[in-house]
Amino acid sequence: MTDVVLIDWGGGNIGSVRYALDRLGARSVLSSDADTIANAPRVILPGVGAAAPAMQRLHELDLVDTIRALEVPLLGICLGMQLLYESSEEGEVEGLGVLKGRIERIAPRPGLRVPHMGWNRLRRERSSALLDGIEDGEWAYFVHGFVAPLSEDTLASSDYGSGFTAVAGRGQRFGAQFHPERSAATGQRLLANFLAMEAA
């Protein structure tokens, strides 16, 4: 029996995410098949790269409507989280629209390197089962040049020049801007919490 399906669209961090799931004892499947994804108990949309080619690939695989229609827990990671929003300034592309808002470029400032690469602290903004056991100030590992602004969907934030959404959630749709597979105990806890979720 499968615990989670990872959407195999070519995103660069799929292997490391699957390895992190293996360490938790999860039975994961990589798939680009719409029926497999539609019937999964949980779905992860991983991603490293740029928004426009990623959305183009999801359209080519005929997965956009499948992802939008999911009623089981869905977790987007890094670029995968950004694709869950309505649109992105990166490539001026329409996203999946299951989270509200527009992805924006990190504004360059003196002394601020873009992309943001490295460890940063999380700040809890709202209660969520996805964040059970993750406290204010815990560290997570980020690699990104675009961000989701703070909004009603922000579960946890971080700061890089200004505040941004580090973890998002609306209903059963969630996103982590950081890489849980590279974020030590914090990331493992978030993935374990996700694997414990059941369809509403």
78 is known as an active-site residue: yes
Catalytic residue selected from 90, 125, 138, 181: 181
Strand partners, 29: 5
Alpha-carbon gap, residue 120 to 133, rounded angstroms: 18
Catalytic residue among 78, 90, 116, 144: 78
Find, among 146, 161, 64, the residue nearest to 110 by Cα: 161
Q: Which of 90, 138, 144, 179 is catalytic?
A: 179
Residue 18 near residue 28 (C-beta atoms within 8 A): yes
Told to judge if 59 belongs to the known catalytic residues of this protein, a careful annotator would answer no
Answer for the pair 122, 186: CB distance below 8 angstroms, yes or no: yes
What is the DSSP secondary-structure string of 16-58?
HHHHHHHHTT--EEEE--HHHHHT-SSEEE---S-HHHHHHHH
- Residue 94 is a catalytic residue: no
Catalytic residues: 78, 179, 181
